[in-house]
Chains A and B, each alone.
Chain A
Amino acid sequence: MSSIRVNPNILPDLLSSLAQTRQQQETATMQLATGSRINQPSDDPAGAAQMVSNRDQSSQTDSFLRSIGSVNGLLQTADSTLSSVVTALQRAISLGVQGANGTLSDSDRSDVANELQGIQQQLLSLANTSYQGEFIFAGTSSAQPFIADAASPAGVTYQGNSGVNRVQVGPTYSVQVNQPGSQIFTNANGNVFQAISDLITGLQTNSGVAAAVGELSAAFNHVASQRVFYGNGINQLQDQQTYLNAEKVNLSTAANAISGADMANTAATLNQAEVAVNAEMAALGKISQTSLFDYLK
């Protein structure tokens, strides 16, 4: 008779399989707790490396979205400021047309000129609008852009510069976020301050009023065209924001695909591991309880 002799000491085998099941249990619990199946690089080295890029891109997308938020505020402020400028210029033009009427007395013209001086002040203040402590029409300078200056023919001098800033709102996409004040208010194609100053002088001296109204119309047209820059900027940012939000969803979908734990599956694994642990413990408790010695009486 020869039969295969089995290893009489099966305890180490059982213990090692128990340790393995315990490991499975721990991994599944960890995955359920974190919702991620990659909790350390070794869980999936390639996935972990992909997650580094994914997190970097998410962080970049978030910061682009934050930038869009700040820039959008700036552009909205500029746009509504220019809207007020346009309204003020409309009022100035209609006052100019009124003043050009030859039937007006000197005192009537003086009244109109006074009202225009008020508008001039308002325009100066609008041109010096600031957003979060920074003048928005000063180019890239931090100086107050327009200063009343009696010596200047236009009544103001521009103290800003002609610099523009661009802000990155996409990996290879940046938008210009400002127009220098000299470009908007004191441009050769339409000089707001020169025109209103000329109109006031014209009314006061009763000469060249019509020409000054013409200047004012040109200035009005110019400012209106500059406003389009801001309107376009706001639209671009909105489009980019929509794109980035979609991108964020894509990135988080990708992250979930790379590292997300399959909860149902993991829960099932955990259950199986628990069942296995119980079975192994039961086996461990049972073995070696009996040997032939127990039956020798």
Chain B
Amino acid sequence: MSNLTATMSIATGAIAVEQGALTETANNVANVNTPGYSRKQAQFSENPPVVLGQLTFGTGVSLGKVTSVRDPILQQQIQQQSGQESELDALVTGMKQVQAQFSSQGSDIGTQLSALFASLSQLSTDPANLALRQGVLTAAGNLASTFNNTANNLGAQRSNLDLNVSQAVAQVNTLTHEIAKVNAQITELQNLHEDASSFIDQRDVLINQLSGLIDVSQIQSDTGITLTTSNGTALVSGSQAFALSTQMDASGVQHIFSNGKDITSEINAGQLGGLLDVRDEKIPALLTSLDTLAAGIVNAFNHANSLGLDLNGNAGGNLFTPPPASGQGAAAVIAVAITDPALLAASSDGSVASNGNLANFSAIHDSGLINGETPSAYYSNIVFGVGNDVANGTAELQSSQLVLQQLQDQRGSLSGVSLDEEAANMVQYQRAYDAAAQLVTVINQMLQTLINMGTGA
């Protein structure tokens, strides 16, 4: 039996459902600019029909559930990619600062080295001339201080990176703590079979931020989500966060510990991965090269000076202070050992106007004294290495950004709120609402007719 009150309840139910759908549209529109928001879709479903004898009657509509449109796999890809992108970004930023030490063509080590040889060449035309001798000492001093500055600046940059590492670790701890909290809320809601999508969106945003700092692997389990580094160091497990700590090592840089274990060398993605790469690999390797170059030059010049005789007729002493025996730190400490220009051993026979020994100095220019390479060639290799690191890093960063952008486009095309779509939905829901309301009016009139029929007219 179909009756008017049943029809009335279909119409009023429809009104409620369209209203509910409109609420989701309103929510979508409201969150159009919320980062990480996944659009929600109202799912209408037809109510189970009633069968009366031979006839089957529909019983209206209900709002089945509201689903968030998201792709968890895509989300993970984005997280991975943004981890890589942040790592490259930190690497390129760090190496660009390193590169600045080798960019100034007027005052870099190569230029100062050339100037030293030029001053020796000039001295060879008038070897007793004190002004020209002073010129050699000045050029040697400039070379030494350029080495010092370059090494010190790299050291200072290493300290700055170290500071960044500490800050990044603090951010990681904040994020893991928040993720653990959100995890707990999600689990709680899911246990009650309630919609946790807004918390899931929030967690996606947080995990994305975390991936930007450190390498993150995620494992989905019944109790929520478990986050670890790629080497298995736990960061978050369900509602529990595992904080990282830092501790200074003997060389004065912060190492990262998890549960007492040093995981510094295991971190290879995110901002931390890039920072640690520059701090622990690139800069130390560069400093070692500079030390090798400085020690090679110092030893060669000291040897050349010892082969000749100075203006006083004495055998030449050290031109530069000797580098540490290991060569380590040579670039930072290299200095000219003499201040008296007369002590430069230009003479080969003890007579003051002899320039015979200067040939031993100028021979350094073309001798393969550092791993078979001339000082200038060795320096040019350093410049190449630095430039190459930046150029490669930049190229990788650009392609990584492109991939990330495509992934985000993909996410946007799936989960992003389209205002056109929402407007269309709104119109659709409004029309349905109008129609349902119209039905109510009609049924009301019919009921009126029925009632009036009873009272007899």
Contact = CB atoms under 8 A, between A and B. Distances in A.
Interface stretch (A54-62, A88-96, A121-129, A214-222): A54-62
A40 B424 CA distance: 54
Contact of A292 (B95, B389, B420): B420
B351 A70 contact: no
Given A13-B405, A42-B390, A166 B359 contact: yes
Contact of B127 (A55, A64, A165): A165
B376 A168 contact: no
A7 interface: yes
Interface stretch (B111-119, B148-156, B163-171, B204-212): B111-119
B383 A41 contact: yes
B125 A167 contact: yes
B102 interface: yes
B397 to A, nearest CB: 12
Interface in B346-362: 347, 349, 351-356, 359, 362
Contacts of A291: 419-420, 423
Contacts, number: 182
Interface residues of B, number: 68
Interface string B396-420: 0000010001001111111011111
Interface in A117-161: 132-134, 138-142, 161
Among A48, A138, A166, residue most surrounded by chain B Cβ atoms (within 10 Å): A48
B366 interface: yes
B46 interface: no
B71 interface: no
B99 A41 contact: yes
A40 B394 CA distance: 13
A1 interface: no
A167 B347 CA distance: 13
- Dominant secondary structure of chain B at its interface with chain A: helix
B260 to A, nearest CB: 40
B379 interface: yes
B272 interface: no
A56 B110 contact: yes
B208 to A, nearest CB: 14
Given A7-B409, A8-B417, A167-B124, A140 B376 contact: no
Contacts of A167: 124-125, 355
B54 interface: no
Interface in B409-453: 409-414, 416-421, 423-424, 426-427
Contacts of A141: 351-353
Contacts of B129: 132-133
A261 B363 CA distance: 35
A134 B413 contact: no
Interface in B77-117: 95-96, 99-100, 102-103, 105, 110-111, 113-115, 117
B181 interface: no
A24 B247 CA distance: 42
B387 A49 contact: yes
A161 B259 CA distance: 79
A9 B420 CA distance: 12
Interface in A35-57: 39-46, 48-53, 55-56
Nearest to B351: A140
A291 to B, nearest CB: 4
B409 A8 contact: no
A209 interface: no
A9 B118 contact: no
A114 interface: no
Nearest to B98: A41
B57 interface: no
Contacts of A5: 413-414, 418
Interface residues of A, number: 56
A177 B353 CA distance: 12
B125 A142 contact: no
A163 B349 contact: yes
Contact of A161 (B351, B380, B381): B351
Given A42-B391, A141-B351, A142-B352, A63 B380 contact: no
A248 B448 CA distance: 109
Contacts of B421: 8
B336 interface: no
Given A13-B405, A138-B353, A7 B381 contact: no
Contacts of B100: 40
Given A7-B416, A296-B423, A45 B114 contact: no
Contacts of B99: 40-42
B121 interface: yes
Interface in A1-15: 4-9, 12-13
A38 to B, nearest CB: 9
Contacts of B115: 59
A201 interface: no
A238 interface: no
Contact of B354 (A60, A67, A133, A140): A140
A177 B394 CA distance: 54
Contacts of B380: 49-50, 52-53
Nearest to A133: B129
A6 B408 CA distance: 11
The 4 closest A-B pairs by CB, nearest first: A41-B387, A7-B412, A45-B387, A42-B390
Given A55-B111, A167-B124, 17 more contacts: A8-B413, A8-B417, A8-B418, A41-B384, A45-B386, A48-B387, A52-B110, A53-B377, A55-B105, A63-B122, A140-B347, A141-B352, A142-B351, A163-B353, A168-B121, A174-B359, A296-B427
Interface of B: 95-96, 99-100, 102-103, 105, 110-111, 113-115, 117-118, 121-122, 124-129, 347, 349, 351-356, 359, 362, 365-366, 376-377, 379-381, 383-391, 394, 401, 405, 408-414, 416-421, 423-424, 426-427
17 contacts: A7-B416, A40-B390, A41-B99, A41-B102, A42-B391, A42-B394, A43-B391, A48-B384, A52-B110, A59-B117, A63-B118, A63-B122, A142-B352, A161-B349, A163-B356, A168-B124, A171-B366
Interface of A: 4-9, 12-13, 16, 39-46, 48-53, 55-56, 59-60, 62-64, 66-67, 70-71, 74, 132-134, 138-142, 161, 163, 165-168, 171, 174, 177, 291-293, 296
